């Protein structure tokens, strides 16, 4: 029975899924597990009967002290202990050493349990290094973000202040030119033309100032929209009546193509008018001679109404379409002189975003452009203020 028990113990130790070494009072190996041999590279070394210090001749004194303490009956352990390797690296080991006793309960030696945790420690170091890098990068990003916000705020304040400063003298210039124009009987043709040029240029510059001010207000987060249920039929008619005459004066054939009865939509009516006015104005400005301009409205019961503004103008290069809605980016052919600021489509994009709408463009150079807008259909929601 004792032989059977001994055989069982030997098998259990040999195939244990842990690094185990059993040593006697002289620290000679009595039994080891296969894991011990694998972990410490002892495949071609005869262990049984040899002392631990023969196998590891360079073992530090502190370990010898630990062995002696355990041989007196003390149990010692460590969760992570660094061991220098011959190649100059570090092997991390988790270990426990405890005494063992024979059948007569006599102190007979020590049992060492070890686990090489170098891979886990390296991963821990990598994680800590990564966390440190992330913290540093996060601080850098926060610093850059704060700097960008400060620059943006300074720019917004400057644009707002300058816009207000410019509007007052511009209104005065426009007003005086119109006042002088009222006395046209005493003006010659050259003077009349000069006053007309002053008025047209002043109005253009005033529109630019207003657009820049609106853009800076949106970017600063101060722009507010009042979203409520709006009859789309009435709004489309109001905008179309205005641009029908403008298109006719420019020699453009203008058509409104409404596919079915139009529902009410959830928008800020004034902002939607500005969006459509801008798209229709561009459709006239950038159209060809005797071209056509179509506003097509369709409700496909998807919860959104789609409005398309289609022109037969010069079209937009595919490489330019990605940034056409960015401020001050104008995509006109070289040599063309078409009035504009490059702010209109940027405002269109931002107004649409504020109203939970989407806007985009499909265009082919030399054929024309289709600017589209999706507008949410009114539901049971009440009026909402967004800023």
Show me where the domains of the chain are located.
Answer: 2-116, 123-219, 225-386
Reply yes or no on domain 225-386 having CATH 3.30.565.10: yes
Strand order in the sheet with 292-299: 253-259, 292-299, 304-311, 368-376, 358-364
Give the CATH fold of the 123-219 domain. Helix Hairpins (1.10.287)
How much is the mean pLDDT over the chain? 83
pLDDT in tens, 182-219: 777 777 888 878 887 887 777 767 777 766 666 666 66
pTM, two decimal places: 0.52
Q: What share of the chain is helix, strand, coil (3-state, %, to 5)?
A: 45, 25, 30
Q: Which residues contact 180 (CB under 8 A, 6 or more apart)?
A: 187, 195
Long-range contacts of 53-58 (CB under 8 A, 24+ apart): 53/27, 55/29
Alpha helices in the chain (DSSP H): 2-14, 34-39, 52-55, 61-71, 118-181, 189-219, 232-249, 269-285, 344-354
Bridge partners of 225, per DSSP, are: 386
10-14, 135-139, 267-271, 278-282: least confident range: 10-14
CB 264 within 8 A of CB 377: yes
**What are the tokens at 311?**
């022109």
Q: How far apart are CA 260 and CA 306, in angstroms?
A: 12
CB of 115 within 8 A of CB of 78?
no
Q: Which residue has the tokens 């070394």?
A: 45
Give the count of beta carbons closer than 10 Å to the beta carbon of residue 383. Answer: 9
2-116 with 225-386: one CATH topology?
A: no
pLDDT at residue 30, rounded to an integer: 93
Residues 6 or more apart in contact with residue 159 via CB below 8 angstroms: 212, 213, 215, 216
Q: What percent of the chain has pLDDT over 90?
A: 35
CB-CB contact of 332 with 324 (8 Å)? no
Which of 183, 168, 178 is CA-nearest to residue 199? 178
What is the per-residue pLDDT across 30-79, written as a single tens digit (0 to 9) for each? 999 999 999 888 988 999 999 999 998 888 899 999 999 999 999 999 99
pLDDT value of position 149: 78
pLDDT confidence of residue 384: 47
Q: What is the pLDDT of residues 286-317, one digit of tens each?
A: 888 889 999 999 887 888 999 999 999 888 88
Give the pLDDT score at 218.
66
Output the CA torsion sign for 363, 364, 365, 370.
Answer: negative
Element (H, E) at 18: none
φ, ψ of residue 294 in degrees (nearest 5): -125, 135
What is the per-residue pLDDT for 259?
57
Listed as own residue / partner, the contacts of 11-20 with beta carbons closer than 8 Å and 24 or more positions apart are 18/113, 18/115, 19/112, 19/113, 19/114, 19/115, 19/116, 20/111, 20/112, 20/113
Q: Check: CATH 3.40.190.10 for 2-116?
A: no
Beta bridge partners of 48: 29
Give the pLDDT mean for 12-20. Answer: 87
């Amino acid at each position: 029975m004792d032989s059977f028990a001994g055989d069982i113990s030997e098998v259990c130790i040999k195939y244990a899924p842990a690094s185990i070494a059993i040593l006697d009072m002289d620290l000679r190996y009595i039994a080891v597990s296969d894991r011990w041999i694998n972990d410490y590279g002892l495949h071609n070394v005869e262990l049984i009967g040899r002392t631990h210090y023969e196998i590891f001749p360079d073992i530090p004194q502190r370990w010898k002290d630990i062995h002696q303490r355990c041989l007196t009956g003390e149990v010692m352990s460590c969760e992570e202990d660094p061991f220098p390797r011959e190649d100059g690296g570090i092997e991390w080991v988790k270990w426990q050493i405890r005494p063992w006793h024979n059948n007569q309960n006599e102190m007979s030696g020590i049992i060492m349990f070890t686990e090489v945790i170098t891979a886990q420690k390296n991963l821990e170091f990598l994680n800590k290094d990564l966390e440190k890098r992330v913290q540093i990068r996060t601080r850098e990003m926060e610093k850059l973000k704060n700097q960008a916000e400060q620059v943006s705020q300074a720019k917004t304040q400057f644009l707002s202040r300058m816009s207000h400063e410019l509007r007052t003298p511009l209104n005065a210039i426009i007003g005086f030119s119109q006042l002088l124009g009222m006395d046209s009987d005493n003006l010659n043709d050259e003077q009349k033309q000069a006053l007309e040029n002053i008025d047209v240029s002043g109005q253009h510059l005033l529109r630019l100032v207003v657009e820049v001010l609106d853009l800076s207000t949106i970017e600063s987060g101060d722009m507010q929209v009042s979203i409520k249920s709006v009859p789309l039929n009435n709004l489309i008619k109001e905008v179309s009546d205005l641009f029908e005459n403008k298109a006719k004066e420019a020699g453009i054939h203008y058509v409104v193509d409404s596919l079915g009865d139009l529902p009410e939509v959830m928008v800020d009516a004034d902002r939607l008018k500005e969006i459509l006015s801008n798209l229709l104005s561009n459709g006239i400005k950038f159209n060809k001679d005797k071209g056509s301009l179509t506003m097509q409205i369709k409700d496909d019961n998807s919860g959104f109404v789609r409005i398309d503004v289609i022109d037969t103008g010069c079209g937009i290069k595919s490489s330019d379409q990605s940034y056409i809605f960015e401020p001050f980016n104008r995509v006109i052919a070289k040599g063309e002189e078409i009035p504009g600021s490059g702010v209109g489509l940027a405002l269109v994009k931002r107004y649409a975003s504020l109203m939970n709408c989407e806007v985009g463009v499909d265009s082919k150079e030399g054929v024309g452009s289709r600017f589209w807008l999706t507008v949410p259909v009114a539901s049971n929601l009440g009026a909402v203020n967004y800023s």
